[in-house]
Structure 1
Amino acid sequence: MADEVDYEALPPNAGTLVNMLAGALAGISEHAVMYPVDSIKTRMQVFSASPVAIYSGVGNAFSRISSTEGMRALWRGVSSVVLGAGPAHAVHFGTLEAVKELAGGNRGGPQWLATSLAGASATIAADALMNPFDVIKQRMQVHKSEFRSVFTCARVVFKNEGLAAFYVSYPTTLAISIPFNAIQYTVYEQVKRVMNPTHEYSPSTHITAGAVAGAFAAAVTTPLDVAKTILQTRGTSHDPEIRNVRGMMDALRIIGAKDGLKGYSRGLTPRVLTIMPSTALCWLSYEFFKAAIRTD
């Protein structure tokens, strides 16, 4: 009887397509499951003059949204994520595996540079595709959004604000996503090697390694996330210095000046708690689909 095929040892002619399909299915699974939490996060990040739209915590937000608007409000815009996450994650994981192979990341022993380069490259490609869908998603998530259709939202935003509206946050997104994904993928690969040296399909290994990698990457990039929030909400601030913040470095300077070192860790706990299950589920789904749709 033929030897059992290692689930990571995919045939060269099918590897890229398998990785992309596995990534697409993993991305849809990850975002769909975590979508209500993402909706609450968006609501809590948006400054509003309406007391109804001001939330004191995750539990408070969930209770008030579900009681005043219904549970469906927490899923508004999920179709944008489904439409965008599949192709974006397909590109992400396809690029990830291709660059990893080209950079020598599949050779024996730790390959920190190769895995970091693969993670960063995958992020640049995937975020370029996902950013417009993310803009649409957030426009539909906000309190009293006028949009109920993804295509209507896209058409109105394009008509009123032009193509630039879909990419205004892309540079800031990359400033966070590149180090986040490079760190996440590197930590994931190293934890997986330690926990699963035989490279067998192991759900417990993938979910644990994914959670550890996500938590670590989230914690390390929190200062950049704080700066991103200041940049994205500067127009709502009454502080002249914040309203006129010019970019990422300027935002980081203002944070340090106003809050000291502790300012760079604002939102650390909820960020880690949100990202841990998301990345764990993503890697678990990716490895599962990668194993399930492999070709002998």
Structure 2
Amino acid sequence: MSEGKKPLPFAANFAAGAIAGVSEILTFYPLDVVKTRMQLERGKAQHGLFGTFKNIIKEEGAGRLYRGLVPPLLLEAPKRAVKFAANDFWGKTWLGAFGQSTMSQPISILTGCSAGATESFVVVPFELVKIKLQDKSSTFAGPMDVVKQIIKKEGVLGLYAGMESTFWRHLYWNGGYFGCIFQVRALLPKAETPQAQLTNNFISGSIGGFVGTVINTPFDVVKSRIQGTPRVPGVVPKYNWTYPALATIFREEGAAALYKGFVPKVLRLAPGGGVLLLVVEFTLGVFRKALGPPYV
């Protein structure tokens, strides 16, 4: 934000994040289905990106690539809105707390981690429903059937299975994403035109999405295992808490298993991170013009 500009209101940041989130998920959702399938595979054998795509289409039909779309589509607006609005809130909060007037690399990482932690509390029930529907063995009729059966068997708190692993997943992804955006923007040539600014946003967002994915994929694998494993009364789940589950997967399946689904995940979230930032910044620019001085 240029010196002298007034910060946009919370509603503008919230709306920009919502529009960006819906745009991203409509573009990249099939890769998320493939990623989840790969993460739910047990053992060291993997079908790989193209093998998993092929098997889903061959055995279940192309429509299965959009199975479970409704929960994340309903989620994307509040999820991405919370992500960018929380990042804006925590950025201002940490700058004030440390007595700084401009963002630095450490504060940008701390801000991203704080935004991710905030976001995680919003997404858990939606993520749980999505995982249940994306699983190959799923017999649920739809999103509401998942919700009803979970509440019936486990109570309302059952919708928050995997809360702890989701917290770590979002904390690390957002820290890497927003921390990289700050650093990459500083290294890119200064944008002299709106088109150059959009290009810089896409590049920095894509690199941020890649780094965030590298950091958080093991936590995403654990989250998928925790949320995808049926709960049996009286039986302690094999995958229950994040760090012990990481150790279990590493011991039984090897280090590579912690990166199951990495290729479709990074193919989605690297360019997806670029799309997110590009749409957010473009939408905020529209709001600034519409609101006029002192926002422009």
TM-score bracket, shorter-length normalisation: 0.7 to 0.9
Does the 8 A contact of 1:193 with 1:199 survive in 2? no
**1:60 alignment partner in structure 2:** 51
Q: CA RMSD in A?
A: 3.3
Query: In the aligned structure 1, how far is the partner of 2:149 from the partner of 2:229?
Result: 24
State which of 38, 41, 45 in structure 2 corresponds to 1:44: 38
* Cα-to-partner distance string for 1:190-245 (whole Å, 9 max, x where unaligned): 21233254586422111111111121222233444455566667889xxxxxx756
Residue 64 of structure 1 aligns with an amino acid whose one-letter code is N
Report what 2:282 is aligned to.
288
Mean CA deviation greater in 279-288 or 191-200: 191-200
Relative distance call for 1:196 and 1:233 in structure 2 (3 A) is same
State the SS of the aligned residue for 1:293: helix
Q: Determine if the alignment matches structure 1 residue 33 to structure 2 residue 27.
A: yes
Flag the 1:250–1:153 CA change in 2: closer, same or farther, 3 A. closer
2:78 counterpart (87, 97, 110): 87
Q: Please give the secondary structure, in 1, of the residue aligned with 2:139.
A: coil
Q: Do the aligned partners of 2:173 and 2:212 also contact (CA within 8 Å) in 1?
A: yes
CA shift for structure 1 position 69:
2.6
Contact kept, 8 Å, 1:222 with 1:264, in 2: the verdict is yes
Measured after TM superposition, the shift of residue 37 of structure 1 is 0.9
C-alpha displacement of 1:171: 0.4
* Kept in 2: contact 1:7–1:290 (CA 8 A): no
Task: Structure 2: give runs of 5+ residues left out of the alignment.
Answer: 232-236
Secondary structure of the residue aligned to 2:117 is helix
Is 1:190 the counterpart of 2:183? The answer is yes
Give 1:91 shift: 1.6
Superposed displacement of residue 86, structure 1: 0.5
The structure-2 alpha-carbon separation of the partners of 1:232 and 1:65, relative to structure 1 and needing over 3 Å to count, comes to same
Structure 1 residues 225 and 129: alpha-carbon distance in aligned structure 2, compared to 1, 3 A threshold: closer
Hey, what's the Cα distance between the residues in 2 that align with 1:199 and 1:166?
A: 48
Query: With structure 2 as the length reference, what TM-score do the two structures score?
Result: 0.79
For this pair of structures, how many residues does the alignment match? 279
Mark the CA change 1:37 to 1:159 in structure 2 (over 3 Å): closer, same or farther. same
Instruction: Report the residue type matching 2:131 in the other structure.
Output: Q
**1:175–1:279 CA distance, 2 compared to 1 (3 A):** same
**Could you tell me whether the CA contact under 8 Å between 2:29 and 2:69 is conserved in 1?**
yes
CA distance in 1, matches of 2:147, 2:227: 20
Could you say which residue in structure 2 is the equivalent of 1:20? 14
- Confirm whether residue 163 of structure 1 aligns to residue 167 of structure 2: no
Aligned pair partner of 2:202 in 203, 207, 210: 207
Aligned residues with identical type, % of pairs: 26
5+ long unaligned stretches in structure 1: 1-5, 49-53, 237-242
User: Is the 1:80–1:137 contact (alpha carbons within 8 Å) kept by the matching residues of 2?
Assistant: yes
Aligned position for 2:234: none
SS in 1 for 2:95: coil
Is contact 2:174–2:212 with CA below 8 Å preserved after alignment? yes
